[in-house]
Structure 1
Amino acid sequence: MSILLPLYIYPSAGAWNPLYTAAAEHPDISFTVIINPCSGPCRGSRPDQVYLNEIPKLKSFGNIRTLGYVATNYTSKAIDDVLADVNAWADWPKVFNNTKLKTDGVFFDETPSVYDLAAYRYLEKASRAVKNGTRFRDRFVVHNPGFLAPSIISDKQLLQHSYINLTDITVVFEETFDKFLLRENFDALQHSKVRRSKLAIILHSLPDLSKRVLDYVVEQVQEGAEWLFLTDVKVKDEYYHTFSPIFEDVVRSVDGGAE
């Protein structure tokens, strides 16, 4: 089991320490971390120096992969702007003269969920910019449509009628915990036609759960996806801007409930 972590937390002194502690104490867990200093790579400007100081520290952990954030606005953003964002992430090591700023891939946010040929070609071009060459260490691509309807997830022709074959991971569900529990969503996610290793589930607004119940929730998410992120933060637009009180327990649950 692995964790897909939207690290949209400003790296003030000590702010990222929960991640460092978790990565050190749970070396068997893979953390794929999304870096997002300016709703993207700060193209046309310089990121705050604290980012340039802190991001290289992530590279001291062998179980942390870093992805640069790029929004596509559901493919309404000009493809040239998307490619410019990808290029900006790729250029960070050279521009800021630090090889430890080299990211391992790109997290494309706000991607479409319903298949469309023009959108497929758009995303194919964006993904190729990451996959081709050696500008990204792992050439890793993640799409986040946020939600794939049960009818899509259950479609036997899903691979032919989706963008999943363009990605290493697709976030098939980013929603509240309550919506995850709805029968149509829960059943579809647990019986997806795609192998778990290519799927991620992100749940926010979790209620107050005991560690035992949290272990059970993680087990249920595992039935549908290899990658997960859970938080009990309930304030819109703040879900990923802080480490929630349950972060450490979530990591332990992912690591087999280890105490």
Structure 2
Amino acid sequence: MSLVKKIFLCNCIQRNLENLSFYFGISSLLFISIFLLSNTVYALPKSTGIIIPLYADPGGEWEKVIYAKKTHPSVPVLVIINPNNGPTPCPNQDYVKGITDLKSAGIFTLGYVSTNYTARNHSDIITDVDNWKNCYPNIDGIFFDEMSNMLGKEKYYADLTSYAKSLGFTFTVGNPGIDTLPSYVGTVDNLVIYEDVGLPSFLSLEEWCPNFNKSNISIISYGVNDINDSTIERISHKVGYLFITNPYFDKIVEELDKRGYEKKDHHNEEPIILKLMHRHVNIFKKFIHK
């Protein structure tokens, strides 16, 4: 994941989760299913849920997600936890407690692992998966980012899913971020087939989704300047999980590039960048699902 995108998503959560309870309230009126968890199986809800890139350290942002979930417990929620493009050196007690609190609220947790489109050393990926399990055993599943969509790489991800589940993880998400091949369905439990500015076209969803259960599919959209209830409703018929933000993303990238912040050490510069972006971001347009 690029630094700009990671910081952008982090700031979306940090700045705007105060709006989350309102949108959860809208959603909860129409959701008809909840998380069904066991030691070995995660059953996806029949209704569309929310997938949240929770790219912020445990604290106020996490507490707002927890509050919203507790207020509207029937709304299915996945959160992706990404402290350092993967797990932190373990164990970080703030994350141990934060993950426990998320799960106690009924939130399903995924640990972030980059695959760099299969270019990353396989042993490093396995190490990240192991570290999530060893350091944060309460994590429910793994989010494999930068997933390839090239023919012939399917076994790579199927093997990663098998390995993750051999450790006791119950769910995997793969993120190619674009349309992928039908042969990738089943290599992970859920595929993010769209991660970009704006919303995917209905035509692309119609073309990709007819032969698959919507539980196989998620989308992550940002830079959505306007959206109405009927649009969200139509999308929710096609995807298992979605995340929509409404920032001026192009303006943010332009400002970061102009100031050169993205070229600096993000651990030192992130607070400045977050402050810069505070005035631009407005998260979570209306979530209405059937």
**Shorter-chain-normalised TM-score: which range?**
0.7 to 0.9
Partner in structure 1 of residue 211 of structure 2:
193
Shift of 1:33: 0.8
8 Å CA contact 1:148–1:172 kept in 2: the answer is yes
Shift of 1:187: 4.2
Structure 1 vs Structure 2 CA RMSD: 2.7
Partner in structure 2 of residue 96 of structure 1:
none
Q: How many pairs align?
A: 218
1:224 equivalent to 2:218? Answer no
1:41 equivalent to 2:87? Answer yes
Taking the TM superposition and a 5 Å limit, the aligned residue runs for 1:151-162 are: 152=181, 158=182, 162=183
Q: 1:198 to 1:29 in 2, by over 3 A?
A: same
Shift of 1:133: 4.4
8 Å CA contact 2:179–2:193 kept in 1: the answer is yes
Secondary structure of 2:186's aligned partner: helix
Secondary structure of 2:61's aligned partner: coil
8 Å CA contact 2:133–2:167 kept in 1: the answer is no
Partner in structure 2 of residue 21 of structure 1:
67
Q: After superposition, what is the alpha-carbon deviation per residue over 1:184-231, rounded to whole angstroms, capped at 9, x for unaligned?
A: 535435x4421111110111101044xxx1x22211211321211111
8 Å CA contact 1:79–1:122 kept in 2: the answer is no
Q: 1:57 to 1:15 in 2, by over 3 A?
A: same
8 Å CA contact 1:71–1:108 kept in 2: the answer is yes
**Greater percentage in helix:** 2
1:103 equivalent to 2:147? Answer no
Shift of 1:27: 1.2
8 Å CA contact 2:198–2:222 kept in 1: the answer is yes
In structure 2, C-alpha distance between the alignment counterparts of 1:109 and 1:192, rounded to whole Å: 25
| Matched AA of 1:56 | T
In structure 2, C-alpha distance between the alignment counterparts of 1:34 and 1:144, rounded to whole Å: 12
| Matched AA of 1:8 | Y
In structure 2, C-alpha distance between the alignment counterparts of 1:36 and 1:47, rounded to whole Å: 14
8 Å CA contact 1:37–1:47 kept in 2: the answer is no
Unaligned ranges ≥5, structure 1? 94-100, 153-157
Residue identity over aligned pairs, in percent, reads: 32
Secondary structure of 1:166's aligned partner: coil
Unaligned ranges ≥5, structure 2? 1-47, 254-261, 263-272
